A and B are shown apart, each in its own frame.
Chain A
Amino acid sequence: MGDTHPMLQRFGKRRMQQVLVLAGLLLVFLIIHFATNFRFLTGRNMGIIVSHAVIPTFITWGLIFSFTSGMIDLSIGSIVVLASNFAGILGLKFGYVGLILGGLVAGVLLQALNGFVFLKTKIPPWVAGLGMAMIYESIGAVYSTAAVRSGGMVVSLGSQLRGLGQLPFNVLMLVPGLIAVYILFCRTSIGLNVRAVGSDLRVTKEMGIDPNRAKFLSMLVCGVFIGLGSAINQSYVGQLLPRTGLTTVSTIFQPLTAVLIASSMGAIFNVVIGVVIGTISLSALFNALTLLGVPSGTWQEVVLGMLVIAVTIVSMRGEEGVVK
């Protein structure tokens, strides 16, 4: 054993950690399964849990591009609302092609607009993002009010085009999504540049990378995944009502928690895989708490809050001043 190559040793150690994490999760799931009178680990419930995780997964994959490059955009939720509605409108005209293209076009264009505003104004992205969220929410509200005034509501798919958001197609969408995000984030210059910009801006410039270009590209790629998530979302919910008052900002909370979970496991899993584990874990958490009879609206949120604090501590281990 002593003669093993250090690379192999590190690989073996990492693989062991991965197995331990997954085994730990499985153990927790088994305990919940017994505690819930064998209702947790059923095929149907697992399908529901994974299905609930699909949309947050796409949004979180988008977020890892923008967040890694330092573009913390709080308007994501409002973009999802507009992109979902646009996807619905095109979907009713052109079928699934319209649904997906509508989401993609709206997602990419709105993220491009955000990127332009963030980079040109040079104000902190989270501040500018709040402003953009208010604008997008207002556009949605104007559309909704106009629809109500004419005796209707915002676009609804009814029973059409609902397959994409349902099992098994929504879960199947995770596979090409996972491959695409892995290639983009880990195997292309876009991902490399994004990670470089997020790590050290000075070094990035010395490497000849244009930080603004990298950040803008990260927003565009983020827009692709937000757009895809929006198309699936529209298919899943059928109709998405626009809201104002920055209510859409809370949409980012679950993906943000998933990013934190992925970061906390960064040494064990690739962040792209970590996101999937994170979103599925969150979906499983709420499902399990409901099965266990934990009241929603109060104690379930307490548990989520505690989880956020816990994974933030884990993900920030080693940083100065943070509890070990």
Chain B
Amino acid sequence: MKRLSICLLLVLLLSANVLAADYKIGFNNALSGVYCLDILENFAVYGAEALGVDLMVVNDEGTIEKSISNVENMIASGVDGIVYFGLSDATFAIVAKMCADARVPLVLYDHLPTPDTLAHLRNNPYFAGAVGEDDYDAGYPIGEFAAATGAKTAVLVTGNRGDTTHEARVKGFTEAFEGAGGKVLDIAWAATGGRAEALKKSEDLLVAYPDVDVVYTTSGEPAVATMEVLQKYADLGIQYYVTDLDPPILEGLQEGKISAANGAHWINSGLAVALLHNFLEGNPIKDANGQAPVFHVPIIVLEAGQYKAYEEQWLNNMPFTPEEIRNLSVKYNPAASAESFETLLANYSVEQRIMDKFEAGIITEEDLERYGF
């Protein structure tokens, strides 16, 4: 009896957090250890804490099978809703059906469904919407920008064939660059298998195309490797562009090793949690057509001079305050609506965030000066 009492007490203590939270939300990290994915998890945890919900995080280990079985496990464990990252468009319909069968609402984050899949998902009453960015839109402006500098040739370093993120970024860059008269000479695929692999592939590529004008790497980790290789070819004056704003990339920007970088780090996951929270609170957010909304997070283009602001207000702090996250949920703000999300996203840029933080008294005038504003 005594042992049983102790066990019960322990269980109660351990589950105190869960009991205190309003809801338990399931969240999948596609592959733990990848910085850009871990940072999304990080912001989801931050958003969940701000909203007072318990976040159950699972690791899909980069495989679709595990991703689907994780959804089954999360449903079985009694989550109130799921915030889901799809490794492939094909998984969205499968996962949405599993959620509908279990009457568990679903919000997609980061990877957005194709128009056909979205139309299908919108027939599902448990599909509460999506928050993400179009990876094509990450590659396209870089291609445009590079072509506008007069560059005529480019090589790309990217992820695996079939990876929707990198395929879309490559496509975006290629169409913009070649549309403006440039030529993509070669693409080093499968460079996301680790830093050493990326170093080798980047170096081989530069030996093959020493006269190239532009190198574009579509992901943070290989981008650091390519940046190091390019230092050996600094005399060639090759322009270097990157998508993903990992800390070493920011340093590269500051040191002038990178011409420009863009990315949409951080926020879609936390906003997806807020979107789901509204649904759970009985306030399903709808778009202007009365359908489950799809919110596009703008791709941030970071210039070298903005490094300090980004480091301090994104890396060392969070870009949004807990209060701003709470304002997105009807529980804390009865006026929360699709417009709340749209307004927040429409104003999502380095400059605007810094000014908003200044006006909120979070940063000082001296900070503004240090950031170059």
Contact = CB atoms under 8 A, between A and B. Distances in A.
Contacts of B195: 237-241
A199 interface: no
A250 interface: yes
A148 B207 contact: no
B213 interface: no
B208 A293 contact: yes
Q: Looking at chain B, what size class is its interface with the partner chain?
A: 35 or more
Contacts of A286: 200-201, 204
Interface of A: 36, 39, 44-45, 48, 52, 55, 137, 140-141, 144-145, 148-149, 151-153, 156, 158, 233, 236-247, 250-251, 283, 286-287, 290-291, 293, 295-298, 301
The 9 closest A-B pairs by CB, nearest first: A245-B61, A297-B189, A237-B195, A290-B204, A297-B190, A243-B33, A148-B38, A141-B32, A297-B161
Contacts, number: 125
A301 B190 CA distance: 10
B190 A296 contact: yes
A52 B55 CA distance: 43
Contact of A242 (B33, B62, B63, B193): B33
B42 A291 contact: no
Contacts of B190: 296-297, 301
A291 B208 contact: yes
B246 A39 contact: no
Given A149-B42, A295-B187, A298-B161, A241 B207 contact: no
Contacts of B59: 141, 244-245
Contacts of A240: 194-196
B135 interface: no
A199 B194 CA distance: 36
Nearest to A148: B38
A241 B34 contact: yes
A251 B61 CA distance: 16
B35 interface: yes
Nearest to A149: B42
A39 B194 contact: no
B35 A153 contact: yes
B189 A239 contact: no
Nearest to A286: B204
Interface in B45-72: 45, 59-63, 66
B300 interface: no
A69 to B, nearest CB: 27
Given A55-B196, A243-B62, 15 more contacts: A48-B207, A140-B33, A141-B59, A144-B32, A148-B42, A237-B225, A239-B248, A243-B194, A245-B62, A247-B193, A286-B200, A290-B186, A296-B190, A296-B191, A298-B161
B260 interface: no
Contact of B33 (A141, A239, A246): A141
A153 B244 CA distance: 14
B221 A241 contact: yes
Contacts of B224: 238-239
B298 interface: no
B160 A297 contact: yes
Interface of B: 31-35, 38-39, 41-42, 45, 59-63, 66, 160-161, 186-191, 193-196, 199-201, 203-205, 207-208, 221, 224-225, 228, 246-248, 251, 315-317
18 contacts: A55-B196, A144-B32, A145-B32, A148-B38, A149-B42, A153-B246, A153-B248, A236-B196, A238-B228, A241-B194, A245-B66, A286-B204, A290-B208, A291-B208, A295-B189, A296-B189, A297-B188, A297-B190
A39 B211 CA distance: 13
A167 B62 CA distance: 34
Contacts of A149: 42, 45
A287 B201 CA distance: 8
Contacts of A243: 31-34, 62, 194
Contacts of B201: 286, 290, 296
Contacts of B39: 148
Contacts of B317: 151
Given A148-B39, A237-B225, A245-B61, A287 B194 contact: no
Given A153-B247, A298-B161, A244 B208 contact: no
Specify which of A36, A45, A239 lies most central, judged by the most chain B CB atoms within 10 Å of its CB: A239
Given A45-B207, A141-B33, A156 B38 contact: no
A290 B157 CA distance: 12
Nearest to B205: A290
Nearest to A147: B38
A139 to B, nearest CB: 11
